[in-house]
Chains A and B, each alone.
Chain A
């Protein structure tokens, strides 16, 4: 090549290129400075959001135990199928592997959520599905199985209304103080004890911070705070008695309440028909839910505290108390029953067509003579009856520790003016005197009434809660009630109490409540028949021939033993007809089981003592 070439033009252009390259490198250095120094915190955060996942580990709820330490609510292991990240192919494969069920959402809905974080595709999947998915882990990026404790009620429908059930926390509940500490997707108590003592039962969720790769697979654990179990709650319920009560109802609707007369502890709180609360803690689908809600027998309604019924003749105890205290009659005052009474231009019929003849107040209670009480109704002002009814706690919530208890109703002229804008008619007082008219009570109120009569005035606030137990502590039997002072005292004269008690004793001995009689223990009780189709005539004889849904409700309330009572019971059988026939036998079953258990315990203790002496 020519060694004399003029290279000046090329060299000057090279100088320009040199400048251009310097500028290019300069711009790039500035750009990296901007990304790595100025904006670094932002990208650091984005990088962390990429690979660090904070996962919540559900805390097992505390146990619920009955008074004997029997487990009513526990937790079983369960597995949720989760999806995280944008993995439409995985979702498609999952649909082929697992039946997602009728509540499954569209692919788009799942993916939209999964892009934001871990999303439940299906709850509580069976173990075969778990195994199938685990085996295909590598083909299913983004999918994983989450272990969660799930509420389980070993007794199924027994005491379902007491325990209540759990359910996924709602958006609304997330903001409420009552549920503070609960997180999205958590299961919280939605009814019953589960709800009332949710704060104790709930526990605290654990936290896991894990590193994931771009496929969502967990690489390592950064930090782990283990979940804390909830505290256990021991209830006063006796599941054996509860089961006996529920079984006794067979397919009848109704309520049974048994209280410890010395403490107000609730031994039985049965509502029939029942339902299986386990359905709520699993993946409950809309169909099952609607079936329960629409069921015409209302299995979800908690009848002992929510069912409002006319007390029928059981109310005569209140009227008798009022009449005795007002000295309108004495326990020995005789009145004549011819089968009907004519008052205020109307004829009021006794349930015994032929009449009871002449009888005193105690026998009028025993025989449940309407004529006697019609006449008392004509002598007592309604305000007085209402006052005594309220003293016994009727027409107001008992304060039992379950949600949604109702008041019932003790009518008086003021109420009638307010509710119906009508004056009170004297004839209505006559109806109220036999527990008809507008009086409405709950079975819980009536059980407490029986307890109050039996104990000559002790009125307790019924309660289910006995004590809480720290997580992991094994429960012990709580067989003997703690004797505590009553919430309040109903102050009647001893004579009055004796008359009422005698009337109830006789009712079981030779009156209407004979079917509640026990061999070894003396029971006192009172039956009642609550009219549904009130027509001014109590047509007990006709009742059995009516279609079932028009038949009268049957009541029994009572306590035992007659002296120093321990247990008071109220049973209501919907459309059961006469109280003596339908309700008293159920109460009898409960009484009998209670005293048999007591006897067994006594024998057991004796045996242990003998062993110790040897």
Chain B
């Protein structure tokens, strides 16, 4: 499997970072659920974390070239699954994003992120020259667009948007000429009003309005944003202490163990805790960038950067949302939020990054 030199090259630092972040996540999940109707929720999260670590190691052992060789198969399989869900998917929580397995449920949308990253990495690695040609942008855009549309139809706009961002960042890394970039930007600008008029649902528009002016309807859509900001601010410099945040413990904060897990952290551990966890995420992110820089080939760079863009976007958006800087959107915070599919996808992603790092040396 791995030779001695490779074992030494395994990025134990990043694995430590993942474990620390997940453990802090467990503390927060315990804090907001221990007194409620589901006090054992943290145990389920521990199980997922362990499964995630196993997956991470599995993914780490197999050379990423071998994995990417099967990217098309994975891509087609995931797309088929998404199509199946859109057509036959049972409704759960108003959406059809869940796949019922015998042992539980799974969101194929999370798997789709990985599949798209691998597929695009393979495509961009094969491109000759420093920049993408227009036809290549359109082609890659089409392949990214299929799962995006299928996921958006579920409707899970958060995951769809994440894949969109992943595609744009990966394409930018692969190189897009200024002229083309301008055309693309123009295209997007024209698309926004169309999307506003035809795609977005009322409640989604409400969220945007609420973000622009939270006081407009403090009991409605603006409620979450206001309560989150209050929780963060009330935490102060040193926080209220573990299990002692009033906003989270008294249920003023919505979904405190999933999307707003960081707001709970901010309230109970204050700016000290916020800064520590942000440094942790920052270090993980920089470490990934370093891994990308040191990768031995284009494929490695694209794989690492694809996973990283997914991770960084979700992290930054979630933190900005908790801080009241962007509209509320159902993004979990990678590593810390409660949720199985997201945890597994994140771990698989980091498995790929570590994979690339330990094979950075040209034999």
Instruction: Say yes or no: A21 contacts B172, CB within 8 Å.
Output: no
Inter-chain contact A28/B230, CB cutoff 8 Å? no
| CB < 8 Å neighbour of B233 from A18, A28, A44 | A44
Contact with B along A27-64 (1 / 0, CB 8 A): 01101110111011011101110110000000000000
Name the residue on B nearest A45 (C-beta). B234
A43 is contacted by which of B233, B278, B319 (Cβ under 8 Å)? B233
**Across-interface contacts of B231 in A (CB, < 8 A):** 47
* Interface contact A21-B252, CB-CB below 8 Å: no
- B251 A215 Cβ-Cβ under 8 A: yes
Stretch binding the partner chain, chosen from B14-22, B146-154, B284-292, B337-345: B284-292
Q: Are A32 and B289 in contact (CB under 8 A)?
A: no
The verdict on B111 contacting chain A, using a C-beta distance below 8 Å, is no
Asked if residues A18 and B278 are in contact (CB atoms below 8 Å), the reply is no
**CB-contact partner of A10 in B250, B274, B298, B324, under 8 A:** B298
Note all chain A residues with C-beta closer than 8 A to B65: 1
Contact B250 A37 (CB under 8 A): no
Q: Which of B275, B297, B301, B324 contacts A14 (CB 8 A)?
A: B301
Q: How far is the CA of A46 from the CA of B226 in the complex (A)?
A: 10
Q: For residues 163 through 216 of chain A, which have their beta carbon under 8 Å from a beta carbon of chain B?
A: 211-215
Chain B residues contacting A48 (CB-CB under 8 Å) are: 246
Pair A36/B236 contact, Cβ less than 8 Å: yes
Q: How far is the CB of B67 from chain A (nearest CB, A)?
A: 13
Which residues of chain A have C-beta atoms less than 8 A from B320's C-beta? 28, 31
Q: How far is the CB of B292 from chain A (nearest CB, A)?
A: 6
Assess the B233–A39 pair: CB atoms within 8 A: yes
Nearest residue, chain A, Cβ from B220: A86
**A3: Cβ under 8 A from any B Cβ:** yes
Compute how far the CA of A33 lies from the CA of B274 in the bound complex, rounded to whole angstroms: 9
Is B274's CB under 8 angstroms from A37's CB? no
Instruction: Check B236 against A37 for contact (C-beta < 8 Å).
Output: yes
Query: A2 on the interface (CB 8 Å rule)?
Result: yes
The 8 Å CB contact of A11, one of B233, B251, B266, B293, is: B293
Point out the residues of chain A lying under 8 angstroms from B305, CB to CB: 14, 17
The answer to whether A105 has its CB under 8 Å from any CB of chain B is no
User: Which A residues lie within 8 Å of B230 (CB)?
Assistant: 43, 46-47, 50
Chain A 1-17, CB-CB to B under 8 Å as 1, else 0, gives 11101010111011001
A115, B223: Cα distance in complex, Å: 14
How far apart are B26's CB and chain A's nearest CB, in angstroms?
22
C-alpha spacing A339/B50, complex, angstroms: 122
Chain B residue with Cβ nearest A86: B219
The reply to whether B275 and A51 contact each other, CB–CB distance below 8 Å, is no
Judge if B232 is at the interface, Cβ distance under 8 Å. Answer: yes
A24 within 8 A of B: yes
Tell me the smallest distance from the CB of A241 to a CB of chain B, in Å.
Answer: 60
Question: Which residues from 174 to 224 on chain B have a C-beta closer than 8 Å to any C-beta of chain A?
Answer: 174-175, 219
Bound CA span A215–B298, Å: 55
Query: In the assembled complex, how far is the CB of residue A14 from the closest CB belonging to chain B, in whole angstroms?
Result: 5
Which residues on the A side are within 8 Å of B125 (C-beta)? 1
Taken together as a complex, chains A and B put the C-alpha atoms of A9 and B323 apart, in Å, by: 35
> Contacting B292 at CB < 8 Å: which of A14, A29, A36?
A14
Complex: A317 Cα to B301 Cα, angstroms: 122
Q: Is B10 an interface residue (CB 8 A)?
A: no
Contacts of A214 in B (CB 8 A): 250-252
- The yes or no answer to B242 lying at the interface (CB within 8 A) is no
Answer whether residue B3 sits at the interface, using C-beta atoms and an 8 A cutoff.
Answer: no
Among A10, A17, A24, A36, the residue within 8 A (CB) of B237 is A36
Residue of chain A at shortest CB distance from B267: A47
A18 touches B271 (CB 8 A): no
Task: Give the complex CA separation of A32 and B299 in angstroms.
Answer: 37
Instruction: Indicate which residue in A21, A44, A115, A215 contacts B234 across the interface (CB closer than 8 Å).
Output: A44
Would B229 and A43 count as touching, CB distance under 8 A?
Answer: yes
Contact with A along B265-280 (1 / 0, CB 8 A): 0100011001100100
Bound-state Cα–Cα, A32 to B274, Å: 8
Taken residue by residue from 300 to 335, chain B's Cβ proximity to chain A (1 for < 8 Å, 0 otherwise) reads as: 010001000000100010011001110000000000
| B173 contact set on A, CB distance < 8 A | 10, 13-14, 17
Contact B246 A35 (CB under 8 A): no
Q: Does B247 count as interface, using CB distance less than 8 angstroms?
A: yes
Distance of A197 Cα from B288 Cα, bound (Å): 80
Q: Which of A5, A31, A32, A42 contacts B297 (CB 8 A)?
A: A5
Which chain B positions have C-beta within 8 A of A25?
278, 281-282, 285, 316
A48 to B305, CA, bound (A): 44
Which A-chain residue is minimally distant from B124 (CB atoms)?
Answer: A10
**A32 and B266 contact, CB distance less than 8 A:** yes
Q: How far is the CA of A5 from the CA of B247 in the complex (A)?
A: 54
B109 at the interface (CB under 8 A from A): no
Q: Which residues of B contact A251 (CB under 8 A)?
A: none
Bound complex: CA of A238 vs CA of B243, how far in Å? 63
A613-B281 Cα distance, complex, nearest whole Å: 98
Q: Does B296 interact with chain A (Cβ within 8 Å)? A: yes
Nearest-neighbour CB distance to chain A for B245, whole angstroms, equals 9
Interchain CB contact under 8 A, A37 and B234: no
| Chain B residues whose C-beta falls within 8 Å of the C-beta of A18 in the assembled complex | 286, 289
Chain A residues whose C-beta falls within 8 Å of the C-beta of B266 in the assembled complex = 32, 35-36
> Shortest distance in angstroms between B130's beta carbon and chain A's nearest beta carbon?
4
Instruction: Say how far B187's CB is from chain A's closest CB, in angstroms.
Output: 22
Query: Are B316 and A28 in contact, CB atoms less than 8 angstroms apart?
Result: yes
Bound complex: CA of A135 vs CA of B121, how far in Å? 62
Q: Which B residues are CB-close (under 8 A) to A213?
A: 250-252
- In the complex, the answer to whether B246 meets A47 with C-beta atoms within 8 Å is yes
Indicate if A219 sits at the interface (CB-CB under 8 A). yes
Measured CA separation A3–B169 after assembly (Å)? 24
A51 is contacted by which of B252, B274, B295, B296 (Cβ under 8 Å)? B252
If the complex has contacts A40-B236, A51-B246, A214-B251, are A31 and B325 also in contact, measured as CB distance less than 8 A? yes
> Are B233 and A211 touching (Cβ within 8 A)?
no
Asked whether, in the complex, the Cβ of A32 is within 8 Å of the Cβ of B323, the reply is yes
Is A36 within 8 A of B293, CB to CB?
no
Report yes or no: A24 in contact with B316, Cβ–Cβ below 8 A.
yes
Instruction: Give A46 to B320 CA distance when docked, in angstroms.
Output: 21
The reply to whether A40 and B234 contact each other, CB–CB distance below 8 Å, is yes
Query: What's the minimum C-beta distance from A471 to chain B, rounded to whole angstroms?
Result: 37
Which single residue of chain B is at the shortest CB-CB distance from A46?
B230
Docked-complex contact A37 and B297, CB < 8 angstroms: no
Q: Does B93 contact A (CB under 8 A)?
A: no
Within the complex, the shortest CB–CB distance from B264 to chain A, in Å, comes to 13
* A35 surroundings in chain B (CB, below 8 A): 229, 232-233, 266, 323-324
B319 to chain A, nearest CB (A): 5
Nearest residue (CB) in B for A25 is: B282
Contact with A along B241-262 (1 / 0, CB 8 A): 0000011001110000000000
Known interface pairs A28-B316, A36-B274; A50-B252 also in contact (CB < 8 Å): yes
Contact mask B48-63 → A, CB, 8 Å, 1/0? 0000000000000000
Q: How far is the CB of B270 from chain A (nearest CB, A)?
A: 6
What are 28 pairs between A and B in contact, CB < 8 Å?
A1-B297, A1-B298, A10-B298, A11-B293, A14-B289, A22-B282, A24-B312, A25-B285, A28-B319, A28-B325, A33-B271, A36-B236, A36-B237, A36-B266, A37-B271, A43-B232, A44-B233, A44-B236, A46-B230, A46-B233, A46-B234, A47-B234, A47-B247, A50-B250, A51-B250, A51-B252, A214-B250, A219-B250
Q: Which residues of A contact B (CB under 8 A)?
A: 1-3, 5, 7, 9-11, 13-14, 17-18, 21-22, 24-25, 28-29, 31-33, 35-37, 39-40, 42-44, 46-48, 50-51, 86, 115, 211-215, 219
Please list the 10 inter-chain residue pairs (A to B) with the smallest Cβ-Cβ separation, ordered nearest first.
Answer: A43-B233, A47-B234, A36-B271, A213-B250, A40-B236, A214-B251, A9-B130, A35-B233, A1-B297, A214-B252
Residues of B within 8 A of A (CB): 65, 125, 130, 169, 172-175, 219, 227, 229-237, 246-247, 250-252, 266, 270-271, 274-275, 278, 281-282, 285-286, 289, 292-293, 295-299, 301, 305, 312, 316, 319-320, 323-325, 362
- Please name 15 further chain A to chain B contacts, defined as beta carbons within 8 Å, in addition to the given A31-B320, A44-B234, sorted by A numbering: A1-B299, A10-B298, A14-B301, A17-B169, A21-B289, A31-B323, A32-B266, A33-B271, A40-B235, A42-B233, A50-B247, A50-B250, A115-B219, A212-B250, A213-B251
